[in-house]
Chain A
């Protein structure tokens, strides 16, 4: 059967079925709605707009295509709801304008009318956003013009329009970043395709299944999750803990006992949780729900058949691991120690000495107040000590301590050796002020020295330093500068060590120190300072070849 002329009656029936098909899919279209405002009402709005158009169409008694389309445009205008509804009304306003005087319509007329709709719709917006219903309408319209040139039969013609709209819709995530991010197609575009699908089904004389061909359950689940992700921030705020998806395969005998009614089923399920999606056809129900008791939801489904493809995820666990909140099951400790160091080796050293959180940083890469605040939270303790190990970080540490929700105190260590000594003075049995006193006191008994290289020529503290030379820094003052690293180190150590008072020298070797140098230093110390004990650690710090601690 070929249909070369569309009369008013047929057009009206097409429109009615389009509206009906949109209505059956409106909830699914709602679920896709993330743009421009993710309020999940696109489907509802389009449906209300289109229903108003369909009502007007039903009132038309004449068999006149132009009158039918005018009635549709009028109804749409009056009933337009939401952005997509207004766009829809414009699309069909342009459409009806083109067909105004036509009693019957050819494919060529129809294509022109679709194009007319697109032109009108684009005129009514200052800045058309591509990747929306507008794009779908435009691309389908363009294709229809091409098609109409060689296709006079409506059935293949409308089929082509539907295909073009579907292809265009699939491309929407590429045009609109927010869609891509969520992984869904545009909801308004989906709505328009749904209407076109209704047109086609009517011409074919088919009933359409409720689930439109392009929307997948996955799309909708993504969109639901996206909307939800914007809503909650804390793991504790998750009211329904399990993301549950399952399908029910209908079974005859169960259906005989419990006739399936999608609306009623959805209603019952909605009491079990939120983010509910229910989709069904003759054989299957697909369900997505966030529920606290997923078993209950499944029991409900099982009334109608057997369960297949079940998937349950604990969203609290997922969320906890996403935000890195590993502290929840842990009791809050009485004391925590936050410290700032450079180098993996030193980090391990501090951890072995009892630091709870070690931030990487120091000279040339100071952590921010926020970094320290975060670390205080991460330490998860009632009292937190902060060892900045660098005088440039002390201020930030103090700010962080002030802002902290727990008691926090800064032990103003200026060097790595000071920080280590202070840590050794920590006594978990003592109260916070005693500890603060003890640790600050111990810190003073250690002498700190560092070896680094000069990045430019300079004159400082009476020394003239050439670029590339090594500098020995003793308590923040450059005490020697020589071309040779080892010689500089020896000179610095000699200056630091007071044989009568000091007992231990700790060498922390950095990235730029090699094994030979370490051994040479050790030999040097043993030779010149008989009673001194030498400890060697691999700190792995940048910039400083050696850090010396003498006490």
Chain B
């Protein structure tokens, strides 16, 4: 699946892989995120942190009637205000996608898959 844009010169096709990598990259720059998680983590029961090349496993891009929805599976740092971190991720992902790919995203849904407790 991919996103198609029409311009007066022709079409631009952006694969979901690209969108998820950009979205994932924007997310991990956000403060409070310690990793992207596989969306199958709950089923697998393994707290798996994804590397950059696998971000797409933690970012699901869905297109429904011309609208773009993004689901992100993330792991946050213990001791942060989780709702706020999630909100920051939402706004940063939306902004970055708009700036770099020119895509307007209808929704960015955040699934907190884990909290990483760091020894203090």
Write the residues of chain A forming the contact surface with B, with a CB cutoff of 8 angstroms. Answer: 36-37, 39, 77-78, 80-83, 85-87, 89-90, 93-94, 97, 120, 123-127, 129, 369, 403
Which residues 45-85 of B have a CB within 8 angstroms of A?
77, 79-81, 84-85
Closest chain B residue, CB of each to CB of A188: B31
Q: A86-B32, A125-B33 are in contact. List 5 more A-B contacts (CB 8 A).
A: A80-B81, A82-B84, A124-B77, A125-B32, A369-B9
Chain B residues, CB < 8 A from A97: 120
A90 touches B80 (CB 8 A): yes
* Contact string against A for B residues 7-29, beta-carbon threshold 8 Å, 1 for contact and 0 otherwise: 01100000000000000000011
Interface assignment of B34: CB less than 8 Å from any CB of chain A? yes
Chain A residues, CB < 8 A from B28: 126-127
Write the residues of chain B forming the contact surface with A, with a CB cutoff of 8 angstroms. Answer: 8-9, 28-35, 77, 79-81, 84-85, 88, 91-92, 95, 118, 120
Give the complex CA separation of A36 and B30 in angstroms: 9
Shortest CB distance A93–B (Å): 6
A83 touches B88 (CB 8 A): yes
- Name, among A90, A94, A97, A124, the residue most crowded by chain B CB atoms within 10 Å (CB to CB): A124
Inter-chain residue pair count (beta carbon < 8 A): 71
Chain A residues, CB < 8 A from B32: 86, 90, 124-125
Contact of B81 among A36, A78, A94, A120 (CB under 8 A): A78
B80 touches A89 (CB 8 A): yes
- Name, among B8, B31, B32, B34, the residue most crowded by chain A CB atoms within 10 Å (CB to CB): B31
Chain B residues, CB < 8 A from A36: 29-30, 92, 95
- Name, among A83, A129, A369, A403, the residue most crowded by chain B CB atoms within 10 Å (CB to CB): A83
Shortest CB distance A135–B (Å): 13
Chain A residues, CB < 8 A from B81: 77-78, 80, 86, 89
B91 touches A86 (CB 8 A): no
Give the complex CA separation of A124 and B81 in angstroms: 11
- Name, among A87, A90, A94, the residue most crowded by chain B CB atoms within 10 Å (CB to CB): A90
B120 touches A120 (CB 8 A): yes
Contact of B85 among A86, A127, A369 (CB under 8 A): A86
B95 touches A83 (CB 8 A): no
Shortest CB distance B10–A (Å): 11
B31 touches A87 (CB 8 A): yes
Shortest CB distance A118–B (Å): 13
Give the complex CA separation of A338 and B85 in angstroms: 55
- With A39-B91, A120-B79 as given contacts, are A85 and B84 in contact (CB-CB < 8 Å)? yes
Chain A residues, CB < 8 A from B91: 37, 39
B84 touches A124 (CB 8 A): no
A123 touches B77 (CB 8 A): yes
Shortest CB distance A160–B (Å): 26
3 A-B pairs closest in CB distance:
A124-B77, A80-B81, A37-B95
Give the complex CA separation of A147 and B91 in angstroms: 39
Shortest CB distance B25–A (Å): 9
Chain B residues, CB < 8 A from A120: 79, 118, 120
Give the complex CA separation of A512 and B61 in angstroms: 60
Give the complex CA separation of A81 and B84 in angstroms: 6
Chain A residues, CB < 8 A from B31: 83, 86-87, 90, 124-125
- With A36-B29, A83-B31, A86-B85 as given contacts, are A124 and B80 in contact (CB-CB < 8 Å)? yes
Give the complex CA separation of A285 and B17 in angstroms: 52
A403 touches B8 (CB 8 A): yes
Give the complex CA separation of A516 and B111 in angstroms: 81
- With A37-B91, A37-B92, A123-B118 as given contacts, are A90 and B30 in contact (CB-CB < 8 Å)? no
Give the complex CA separation of A130 and B30 in angstroms: 13
Shortest CB distance A549–B (Å): 36
Can you list 15 A-B contacts with CB-CB less than 8 angstroms, sorted by A residue number? A77-B79, A77-B80, A80-B80, A86-B80, A86-B81, A89-B80, A90-B77, A120-B79, A120-B120, A124-B31, A124-B77, A125-B31, A126-B29, A126-B34, A127-B29
Chain A residues, CB < 8 A from B85: 86
Shortest CB distance A361–B (Å): 19
Chain B residues, CB < 8 A from A81: 84
Contact of A83 among B30, B34, B120 (CB under 8 A): B30
Give the complex CA separation of A80 and B32 in angstroms: 12
Chain B residues, CB < 8 A from A78: 81
A86 touches B84 (CB 8 A): yes
Closest chain B residue, CB of each to CB of A45: B84
Chain B residues, CB < 8 A from A86: 31-32, 80-81, 84-85, 88
Closest chain A residue, CB of each to CB of B33: A126
Give the complex CA separation of A78 and B118 in angstroms: 20
Chain A residues, CB < 8 A from B88: 82-83, 86
Shortest CB distance A229–B (Å): 14
Contact of B84 among A80, A94, A123, A125 (CB under 8 A): A80
Chain B residues, CB < 8 A from A126: 28-29, 33-35
Give the complex CA separation of A86 and B33 in angstroms: 11
Closest chain A residue, CB of each to CB of B28: A126
Give the complex CA separation of A49 and B104 in angstroms: 30
Shortest CB distance B23–A (Å): 14
Chain B residues, CB < 8 A from A39: 91, 95
Give the complex CA separation of A491 and B35 in angstroms: 77
- Name, among A37, A82, A97, the residue most crowded by chain B CB atoms within 10 Å (CB to CB): A37
A125 touches B34 (CB 8 A): yes
Chain A residues, CB < 8 A from B79: 77, 90, 93, 120, 124
Shortest CB distance A94–B (Å): 8
Chain A residues, CB < 8 A from B77: 90, 123-125
Shortest CB distance B120–A (Å): 6
Give the complex CA separation of A78 and B33 in angstroms: 18
Give the complex CA separation of A39 and B28 in angstroms: 19
